[in-house]
Amino acid sequence: MDNLIAIEGVKRTIFGRGAVNTIGEECSLLKAKSALFVIDKGLFNTKVFFKIKESLDSTGIETHIYPEITPEPSPELADRGAEIARQKGVDCILAVGGGSTLDVGKAIGVLATNTGKAEDYIGLDLVKNPGLPTIMVPTTAGTGSEVTFTAVFTMRERKKKGGINSRYLYPTVAVLDPELTIGLPPDVTAYTGMDALTHAIESYTSLKANFLSEIISFKAIELIVKNIIDAFRNGDDIHTREEMLKGSYMAGLGLAMAGVGAVHALAYPLGAFFDIPHGIANSVMLPYVVRYNLKSSEEKFSKIAGAMGINNSVERLPEYIFNLIKELRLPCTLNELEVPREDIDKMAEAAILVERPIKNNPRPVDIDSIKRIYEDAFEGM
């Protein structure tokens, strides 16, 4: 029934400096004997890797390492991981890295207990059986993947992206340690942070927002806006990193409950057709979609403007966000990203098919309004 609210999510969260040292213990609490350790290619054999390995070894758990994960992953990466998981008979999946690695880890968890390949499950509620328990350890303050029920894949040869969306993808444990995000370069800090801000704003204003998600999403907006510039400029500050990680975690919780909107839908073709990273694609579209949505949910956007310190002038919100993106040295227009303008029709046709975010958007969108928003995004503000 449409009037009912169902709230579910990650079972357990460990948050704080040094949380990473509890990973071995968390595996033991799950009664796991053998874990598949899925990790970003770039993190393999780094300090982070050895720290976690040590925590696992101290509990005597058998570990199989899968260090192959690269950004905007293909479904085959999950298929290969699932094959190892089945072959080795692991009973727990541990994923350490950015959103891409966490998505692959979540998908491996369900592929290990279901037949077929990752691509067979792209869609909503297609997974038949619950998966293996999963422990998610984000190293960016961005996607919120450690608490969501989605795993997104890129099918490059077909220029498509798609997600496995299933309640069986909710992670069992999220381990959030701000110390892991200290080494993140400024550009990655900026665009993963803008992805988190997009989750917070879109879930807060989503038509599916509920009494609980609104509180969580709004708090996420406050935390991210207050800290994103500092995290970008002064990445070694642990307090700022901690606040950003709280913000992206809460934005993820808000998104898991209320979904996202037209920013994510319009960002989708940028990733699928031009391989633009998810965070950059969302960031570039955010001010233009906010301008389009402004009147539809004025009270909420006024509160967002208040959180950004521009009280009394909700009209200035899109420009404020635009300037924030500039300050973070991220692309502000589709021209800067060298997107061909003649592809607007093709992009709009793909964006309108991203059904759930389109439906959640506070103002109705159709193909013509999408084209207009893309036109705006070529022009700038």
Nearer to Fe ion among residue 114 and residue 217 (C-beta): 217
By C-beta, is 195 or 376 nearer to Fe ion?
195
Binding footprint of Fe ion, residue count (CB under 5 A):
1
Q: Using the minimum distance from each CB to Fe ion, give the nearer residue, 24 or 98.
A: 98
- Window of 158-166, 193-201, 298-306, 328-336 that interacts with Fe ion by CB under 5 A: 193-201
Under the binding rule (CB under 5 A), the answer on residue 72 touching Fe ion is no
Q: How far apart are CA 150 and CA 155, in angstroms?
A: 16
Quote the least distance from Cβ 144 to Fe ion, whole Å: 8
Name the residue number minimizing CB distance to Fe ion.
195
- Judged by beta carbon, residue 30 or residue 194, the one nearer Fe ion is 194
Nearer Cβ to Fe ion (63/165)? 165
The residue range among 51-59, 195-203, 217-225, 285-293 that interacts with Fe ion, by the rule CB under 5 A, is 195-203
Q: Which is nearer to Fe ion, 145 or 181 (CB)?
A: 145
- To Fe ion, the closest distance from the beta carbon of 300 in angstroms equals 19
State the nearest-atom distance from the C-beta of 342 to Fe ion, in Å.
27
Please, what is the minimum distance in Å from the beta carbon of residue 194 to Fe ion? 10
Stretch that binds Fe ion, among 23-31, 101-109, 128-136, 189-197 (CB under 5 A): 189-197
Smallest gap from residue 161 Cβ to Fe ion (A): 11
Among 195, 242, 243, 376, binds Fe ion (CB under 5 A): 195
Q: Which is nearer to Fe ion, 37 or 288 (CB)?
A: 288
Nearest distance in Å: CB 98, Fe ion: 12
Nearer to Fe ion, 63 or 143 (CB): 143
Q: Residues 6 or more apart from 2 whose CB is under 8 A from it?
A: none
- Residues 148-187, mask of contacts with Fe ion (x by CB under 5 A): ----------------------------------------
Q: How far is the CB of 265 from Fe ion (least distance, A)?
A: 11
Nearest one of 137, 135, 156, 138 to 72, comparing CA atoms: 156
Smallest separation, CB 363 to Fe ion (Å): 20
> CA-to-CA distance for 232 and 142, rounded, in angstroms?
13
Among the residue ranges 14-22, 179-187, 192-200, 209-217, the one whose residues contact Fe ion (CB under 5 A) = 192-200
**Alpha carbon separation from 140 to 118, 123, 204 (Å, rounded):** 24, 26, 22
Between residue 26 and residue 65, which ones bind Fe ion under the rule CB under 5 A? none
Q: Which is nearer to Fe ion, 55 or 154 (CB)?
A: 154
Binding residues for Fe ion (CB under 5 A)? 195
